[in-house]
A and B are shown apart, each in its own frame.
Chain A
Amino acid sequence: MAVLLLALAMAAPAFAQVTVEKPAIPLTAEQEAHLAELLPDLRCLVCQNESLAESRAPLALDLKYEVRGLVASGKSSPEIKQYLVDRYGDFVLFRPPFDPRTWLLWLGPFALVLLALLVLMRQIRSSRRDAAAAAPKPVDDAALKKLLDE
């Protein structure tokens, strides 16, 4: 929808974009499944934040048709993605490629879980040691007041 708003806003001079009716591209059932799997991973470039599967923007429809043609000609998903990346850059991929730039993105969260669990374990172990060593000490009011007055 956001796209429709955009398209119409651009149409202000009263001329409208032409949509050429293109011949239908028939797909086999497997190809349909391939296409359905592929489209959510591809970003509509003119929309705010929608995939080609969702968008109805004219450019998205053109690209969808293009991708459909590529699927029909038997291209694999990596080939089709490369075709689009060659033209529009990595921005077109909703699933960012795994490369040195994105190592942190893909691995970061799982590294963080491990780190957090490690810290948690150490915390628990030290808490038992401390608990055995000392009873809780009340907060020293006078010292705090001194700190605040400074």
Chain B
Amino acid sequence: MRYAIPLVVLGVLLAFFTVGLKRDPRLLPSPLIGKPAPAFSLPVAAFPNTDAAPLKLGNAEFAGKPYLVNFFASWCAGCQVEHPYLMTLAKQGAVTLVGIDYKDADADLRQWLAARGNPYAPILVDLDGRAGIDFGVYGVPETFLIGADGRVLHKHVGALTPEAFERDFKPLLGAGS
């Protein structure tokens, strides 16, 4: 019997590998899910009006209904990919889309949005990446759904796709109130 032990160990390993093949080892679940969203208070980007007064917005201003927080940047390739879909989402108007421009130059942002359109309700600026750290952002684009009660309901890493939105975000939009 003991001569069969190696075979059993192999079987167990192969089973784990089969499951492991379907997982992405780089995809990290957020420890923030179910917890109140990190406190942020960030300056509003000077877009589209270059002469807008410097104004800060934070959690309090968005409380009361669910909203999406989308970390993006003009230098990020995945953001280009998801951008057209964000434009569609904005047109549908199902949910407020808060953009946080992550470690980006103001001029680059303006040029980028001028070419592609602006899907965001407000764009906040996270120039030094501190808000990113508080949200546990490790690779833009990342999209968070924050409920009406201010809790983080879901996090999506990478370009947001219609499938991911319908599957993961939509069912949660009514929750958290």
Please determine if A and B sit in direct contact within the complex, based on CB atoms under 8 angstroms apart.
yes
Q: A59 on the interface (CB 8 Å rule)?
A: yes
Q: B133 on the interface (CB 8 Å rule)?
A: yes
Q: Once the chains bind, are B128 and A11 in contact (CB under 8 Å)? A: no
Q: Which chain B residues border A13 with CB–CB below 8 Å? A: 74-77, 80, 112
Q: Which chain B residues border A18 with CB–CB below 8 Å? A: 103-105, 127
Q: Once the chains bind, are A87 and B103 in contact (CB under 8 Å)? A: no
B117-136 near A? 1/0 per residue, CB < 8 Å: 00000000001110011111
Count A/B pairs, Cβ under 8 Å: 73
Q: Once the chains bind, are A11 and B75 in contact (CB under 8 Å)? A: yes
Q: How large is the interface on A (under 10, 10 to 19, 20 to 34, 35 or more residues)?
A: 20 to 34
Q: Once the chains bind, are B129 and A62 in contact (CB under 8 Å)? A: yes
For window 63-110 of chain A, which residues contact chain B by CB distance below 8 Å?
63, 66, 85-89, 91
Q: A10 on the interface (CB 8 Å rule)?
A: yes
Q: Which chain A residues border B28 with CB–CB below 8 Å? A: 45, 88-89, 91
A87-B153 Cα distance, complex, nearest whole Å: 15
Q: Once the chains bind, are B76 and A20 in contact (CB under 8 Å)? A: no
A22-B32 Cα distance, complex, nearest whole Å: 27
Q: A28 on the interface (CB 8 Å rule)?
A: no
A109-B124 Cα distance, complex, nearest whole Å: 50
Known: A15-B74, A15-B105, A89-B28. A22 touches B128 (CB 8 A): yes
Binding site for A on B (CB under 8 A): 28-32, 38, 73-78, 80, 103-105, 108, 112, 127-129, 132-136, 138-139
- A-B contacts, 10 listed (Cβ < 8 Å): A12-B77, A15-B74, A16-B105, A17-B104, A20-B129, A66-B133, A85-B31, A87-B38, A87-B133, A88-B28
